[in-house]
Amino acid sequence: MIRQRPSSSVAARAAVAAILLVLAAGALGAQTFGRVVLTVTDADGQPLPGAKITVTCELLPRFHKELKTNKKGEATVAVVDATKRYQVSVELEGYLPHQESIKPRLGQTSRAQVVLRSVTSQVPPPTEEATLTPAQEVFNEGVAALQQEDLTTAEAKFRQALEMDPHLEAPVRSALGGLHLMAGQPESAIADAQALLALEPQNSRGYRILYEAHKALGDEKEAEKALKALSELDRGGDTVAMVYNEGVESFRVGDMAAAKARFAEALEMQPDFELALKGMLQVLLREESHLEAVAIVERLLALHPDDKNLLGLRHRLYKAAGDETKAQEALAALVEADPTLVVQQALERGVALYNAGDARAASEQFERALAVEPDNAKAHYHLGLCFVNLGDNAKAREHFERFLALAPDDPDAGTARDMLNYLE
């Protein structure tokens, strides 16, 4: 018994849903991942293998990585949270130690170079340095203790510096806010941030501390208020990443409206933010907003013009939207990029549709395969089966005969001969 053929809109939704599942693993799985390739050289630009690299993060006290550079002087620092800034220490016998901070790019691989100076190298005399006050020196001792994760000493030093010089309240409150986040004391961090913002209302770090602290407490309403204020002050990479992550969280709990708003906000800050584009695409696919989705696909193709998955999705979305002209143009671009892929996908979809009882839709897929590859034997064989089911015996015979001419020794050749005898 032949089952009723699903409507074209149902078939289109099924095709788009399949792509959605493929894209979902990539975009959301890479939520905050980042990678930095460090290249360590001497002053002459020669690579230095065997250099010890230690990576820590003030806001992630348990994060600690130790690496060594390879023969090319390279080491790759991979982190799961690229929204944070990381401290890097580089050491090698015979060279002066080097310290700096790095900020990975969300979902991407970036590169950085570290130049080590030989202990015997001639260093030009330093320029006149500003003299630090006793309070500033104590504050810097607190910073050093914080970098060593000695939170007790660091807090004592910061408070001592503030007693010595009340004018240091803003940097002290900023430092204490980060320290209390590290210590798992979000209520204290909130108090520090509020004190900082009372002094400097436009200080973006104050809002960043508020956001992190309220998130730690599970107070989503206050965290959202802090993030909104932060995004108005600072549209840089850290803030964009935080807005994007809020979108991911909303997506995962099924709040598509909130996810869409967050991804849109991230894209307003950074129009070519690839992860936010992919996040927005997933929301639009869930909504079956085909024309909006294909606009996002076009923006992603501007970044990756040869991405075959995107080229295929563009074709399906135009098809689902009923724009046959654009669909044919998109198909032509896909065929040009990878004809074999088009044929393979058409055959797979055709077989699935045929097995589901939709011989008409299946025949369209096999004909699509033949439009690209006219002598594809399997496409002719399956078209023969489709036309038998559709009652068009003349076309069925035509395709079975063509199949046998192309592949007489195929495992399905016996079935094709039996079908020809039956049709006669």
By mean pLDDT, which of 90-99, 112-121, 302-311, 361-370 is the weakest? 112-121
pLDDT at 185: 93
pLDDT at 83: 73
**Model pLDDT for residues 245-286, shown as the tens digit of each residue:** 888 888 988 999 999 998 998 898 888 888 899 999 999 999
Residue pair 114/38 in contact by the 8 Å Cβ criterion: yes
What is the pLDDT at residue 79?
77
Residue 38, SS3? strand
Can you tell me which residue has the tokens 């005969």?
Answer: 401
Q: What is the pLDDT of residue 19?
A: 38
Stretch 326-342: mean pLDDT, rounded? 83
Q: Give the pLDDT score at 126.
A: 54
Residue 387: band (very low, low, confident or very high) from pLDDT cuts 50, 70, 90: very high
* pLDDT averaged over every residue in the chain: 84
- % of the chain at pLDDT higher than 70: 88
Lowest mean pLDDT among 16-25, 199-208, 325-334: 16-25
Predicted local distance difference test score (pLDDT) of residue 120: 64
Q: Which residues are registered as beta bridge partners of 112?
A: 38
- Strand 74-79 relative to strand 86-91: parallel, antiparallel, unpaired? unpaired
Which position has the higher pLDDT, 31 or 410? 410
Predicted TM-score (pTM) above 0.85: no
Is 17 a residue whose pLDDT tops 50? no
**pLDDT attached to residue 121:** 56
Phi, psi dihedrals of residue 204, rounded to the nearest 5°: -65, -30
Amino acid of residue 357: G
| CA 386 centroid distance within chain | 42
Tell me whether residue 201 is exposed, middle or buried, using C-beta atoms within 10 angstroms of its C-beta: 0 to 12, 13 to 18, 19 or more: exposed
Q: What pLDDT shows up at residue 338?
A: 78
358 C-beta neighbours (distance < 10 Å), count: 23
pLDDT at 43: 80
Categorize the per-residue pLDDT at 237 as very low, low, confident or very high, splitting at 50, 70 and 90.
low
| 33 pLDDT above the threshold of 80 | no
In angstroms, rounded to a whole number, what is the distance separating the alpha carbons of residues 63 and 74? 21
Run of H or E including 223: helix 220-233
**Is the predicted pLDDT of residue 14 greater than 80, yes or no?**
no
Long-range pairs of 235-238 with CB within 8 A, sequence gap ≥ 24: 235/269, 235/270, 237/103, 237/105, 237/106, 237/270, 238/83, 238/85, 238/103, 238/208
Distance between CA atoms of 61 and 42, rounded to whole angstroms? 31
> Percent of the chain at pLDDT above 90?
45
Backbone angles phi, psi at 74, to 5 degrees: -110, 150
* Location of structure tokens 């504050």: 139
